[in-house]
Amino acid sequence: MGDARLLRIADKVHDFDTPQLHALLADMLDTMQALDGAGLAAPQIGVNLRVVIFGVQRNPRYPDAEEVPLTVLINPVITPLTEAMEEDWEGCLSVPGLRGLVPRFPHIRYQGFDEYGALIDRTVTGFHARVVQHECDHLDGILYPMRIRDMTQFGYTDVLFPGREMQDE
């Protein structure tokens, strides 16, 4: 946070299944796994393209975490399926050590493409919906602290949740 590259509107991907795109995705997957994140957007590694990845496997370290299939999502479009938003805690690999209470739509449809240009069209709820909204915000230069409504609900993870391991997005 503070790096101007996180505040840009990212460009659409026009060419799929290219060596450059596969190399970007390999780099993003390595980064996400090395940092044990639940998701990552290309702007977080300085690449200004509308590419996100996310996924959460069942892990005894995070017993409350919902499983989310490992997904590559390019040029995403989100359609909220509820009017009301729900608040829950989020962290971000670009905002290390902090967590905040962030409003998101609990039920969305998202569409986009995988790295081969195949259509992805899913309707999801809960944490899956939250992580998609968080990652897609990165493509529009939005970091989760910008969405916090009550700044008393923003703080250090180890103070808010002592002794608990949590994943960042």
Tell me, yes or no, if 135 is annotated catalytic: yes
- CA–CA dist 79, 111 (Å, integer): 8
- CA–CA dist 119, 96 (Å, integer): 33
User: Least Å distance between CB 138 and Ni ion?
Assistant: 6
Nearest residue to Ni ion on Cβ basis: 92
Decide: is 169 part of the binding site for Ni ion (CB under 5 A).
yes
CB nearer to Ni ion: give 13 or 95.
95
CB 68 within 8 A of CB 131: yes
> Based on C-alpha coordinates, what's the Rg of the chain?
15
Stretch that binds Ni ion, among 77-85, 87-95, 145-153, 159-167 (CB under 5 A): 87-95
Among 10, 51, 72, 92, binds Ni ion (CB under 5 A): 92
User: Least Å distance between CB 31 and Ni ion?
Assistant: 12
Q: Is the dihedral of CA 25, 27, 33, 39 positive or negative?
A: negative
Total residues contacting Ni ion by CB under 5 A comes to 2
Stretch that binds Ni ion, among 10-18, 67-75, 96-104, 161-169 (CB under 5 A): 161-169
Residue 128's CB is within 10 A of a number of other CB atoms, namely: 21
Query: Which two three-digit tokens encode residue 85?
Result: 């938003």
Decide: is 90 part of the binding site for Ni ion (CB under 5 A).
no
Distances (CA, A) of 78 to 25, 97, 116: 21, 28, 20
- CA–CA dist 112, 117 (Å, integer): 9
Stretch that binds Ni ion, among 51-59, 89-97, 104-112, 121-129 (CB under 5 A): 89-97
User: Least Å distance between CB 158 and Ni ion?
Assistant: 19
CB nearer to Ni ion: give 100 or 106.
100
Q: Which residues are catalytic?
A: 135
- Contacts with Ni ion, residue ranges (CB under 5 A): 92, 169
